[in-house]
Chains A and B, each alone.
Chain A
């Protein structure tokens, strides 16, 4: 079992560029989440999904979009990147909300 994987691991974007982060899980979990973590800070929820075909907004959804077309995949899109979106992005999945399994993270820099 690979658990939760994230692609890519690192990325540098210029302001205004777009990109998609891919999260995949092989644990058959219903719930999937996208978080961002800024230096010395906690995790802030961007969007989440409680099942295939469903998505919902978290604490900081502005500037991001998500899709969950397949149960095992959860995509996070940045349509027009801004320097404020420089962060580490973590994906997580769970069968129960309180026990989440995290991917290794994507380190994104927007210049």
Chain B
């Protein structure tokens, strides 16, 4: 089976950098996705890592190490609008994905 672990809450300061970690246990290699969800809203896709290394999309970067079964989402130049929940997800090919329980990011001015 598959399981994912991520911190339940993280707090950071506006303008700073924050890293949200995700460790996973799977029966085979699957890519790692990240989603953002604002309170009362729907999840939106942020990034996907199918191979080891860093993927960058603007202020957001995501990293995967398959040997360590570990990934993270890095948010730079934090803005108040980045306050949201962030979910990592294990993505097997051609079917369903399994979501972690989410990390609630709170940003202080």
Contacts and interface: CB of A to CB of B under 8 A. Distances in A.
Q: In terms of DSSP, what is the predominant structure of the interface of chain A? A: strand
B95 A50 contact: yes
Contact of B31 (A42, A43, A98, A100): A98
A63 B58 CA distance: 42
A97 interface: yes
Contacts, number: 54
Contacts of A56: 95-96
Tier of interface size on chain A = 20 to 34
B63 interface: no
Contact of A42 (B42, B44, B100): B100
Interface residues of B, number: 23
Given A42-B101, A43-B99, A98-B48, A50 B33 contact: no
A97 B96 contact: yes
B100 A99 contact: no
B89 to A, nearest CB: 7
Contact of B96 (A48, A101, A102, A104): A48
Contact of A98 (B41, B43, B97, B102): B97
Interface string B83-94: 000010101111
B26 to A, nearest CB: 13
Interface string A89-110: 0101000011111111100000
A104 B41 CA distance: 7
A45 interface: yes
Contact of A45 (B45, B94, B96, B100): B96
Interface of A: 31, 33, 41-45, 48, 50, 56, 58-59, 90, 92, 97-105
